[in-house]
Amino acid sequence: MKVLVYGSGVIGCYLAHVLCIAGNNVTLLARGPWKEQLQHNGLRIRHHLQRKTTLDHPRVIGGIEEEDTYDAVFAVMPYNRMRSILEPLAAIRSPIVVLVGNNMSPADMQQIILDHSVCGKQVLFGFQATAGKRDHEKGMLICERAGIGAMDIGGLHSLPNSDTQAKLEAMFNGSGYRLRWQPDMEAYLICHLAAVLPICYLAYACNGDLTGSTGKQRKLMSMASREAYAMLKAQGIPILPEGDDQYYAPGIKGTVMQFLYFAMAKWKTAGDLIACEHCRNAFEEMEMLDDAFEKVLARRPEFPMPSWRELKAQMPGWDAIRKQYAKGSMK
């Protein structure tokens, strides 16, 4: 099938790689010097944990041509930049558009696409847990992932119809990559921040290096997420994926999460690829997500969040973070 991946960061490039494995006709939209590297070198990915390098040759473009048509478009952009591409996405002739990544305005974004679309479209939302960074000197990506990977995907508040599900499943057939269908992606994306923002707070508190964190801080991080999930439950927001709040409670899942926290703190490469690299390079996105989540917290101001507040108070203010990161002083 003919598939466009709109965005060529770590997540977009890994998604393009998987779609190539599955035998699709893949187009990757990229900009600037990175586009030139992709056109010249192909899509080279160093899979860190798997200790292998892959090379794919998707078609690489710098812009959309009016006559282009696709069976599906996956838009993979940071939250702070996604809104700027919504009208271009609406102009693409494709029946399916999937917005991939953190998103605290999914309903608004869906409506903009539908209002400006040149053809009938179904707008879905997805999240792919892939991390890493670009290595511009080597012209490749370094990717951190567990297994072949998966995407949590669904509509704003419902599952897509069976035909759409079957079409998307077929795009990944044979790759090993899984689509995990979620019934309410708006709730999913809110829940995701309950897990991610405490890691972000601690990364900034440790000057972008989790190896400087203490066991007490990592415990605080877990407690902060536990409080956030409890607050979302109190608001009637369904926890998605179902049972994810158990990673921050006593039990097997909680032990798994504590091990992951420990690994990020003791193994600098893992900590950088999983969390710190994104915090360093996407501080504008993280600030916007934090601001949006604070509005969710404000719906229940009486709900106790002592660990969340204590952890957040340890990081510098957003003004200081913007100055520090914009100058490139946190490497």
SS3 sequence of 8-72: CCHHHHHHHHHHHHCCCEEEEECCHHHHHHHHHHCEEEEECCCCEEEEECCEEECCCCCCCECCE
CA atoms within 13 A on the CB side of 266: 7
pTM above 0.85, yes or no: yes
Instruction: Give the separation between CA 322 and CA 303, rounded to whole angstroms.
Output: 30
Q: Per the structure block, which two tokens stand in for 88?
A: 């271009």
Instruction: Give the separation between CA 89 and CA 110, rounded to whole angstroms.
Output: 11
Instruction: Please give the pLDDT value at position 327.
Output: 62
Instruction: Give the separation between CA 74 and CA 6, rounded to whole angstroms.
Output: 6
Residues 292-320 as b/e (b if ≥16 CB within 10 A, e otherwise) read bbeebbeeeeeeebebbeebbeebeebee
Query: For residue 76, which of 116, 142, 30, 21 has the smallest C-alpha distance?
Result: 30
Residues 266-281 as b/e (b if ≥16 CB within 10 A, e otherwise) read eeeebbbbbbbbbbbb
Given a cut of 50, the residues of the chain with pLDDT beneath it are: 328-331
- CB-CB neighbours of 78 under 10 Å: 19
Q: Is the peptide bond before 306 cis (omega within 30 degrees of 0)?
A: no
- Give CA separation, 265 vs 101, 202, 272, in Å: 25, 11, 9
Q: Per the structure block, which two tokens stand in for 130?
A: 């892939």
Convert the pLDDT of each residue in 247-266 to its tens digit: 999 999 999 999 999 999 99
Instruction: Please give the pLDDT value at position 184.
Output: 98
Q: Per the structure block, which two tokens stand in for 231?
A: 């607050």
Q: Per the structure block, which two tokens stand in for 108?
A: 């608004």
Which residues are bridge partners to 128 per DSSP? 151
Instruction: Please give the pLDDT value at position 220.
Output: 96
Convert the pLDDT of each residue in 158-197 to its tens digit: 999 999 999 999 999 999 999 999 999 999 999 999 999 9
Instruction: Please give the pLDDT value at position 331.
Output: 36
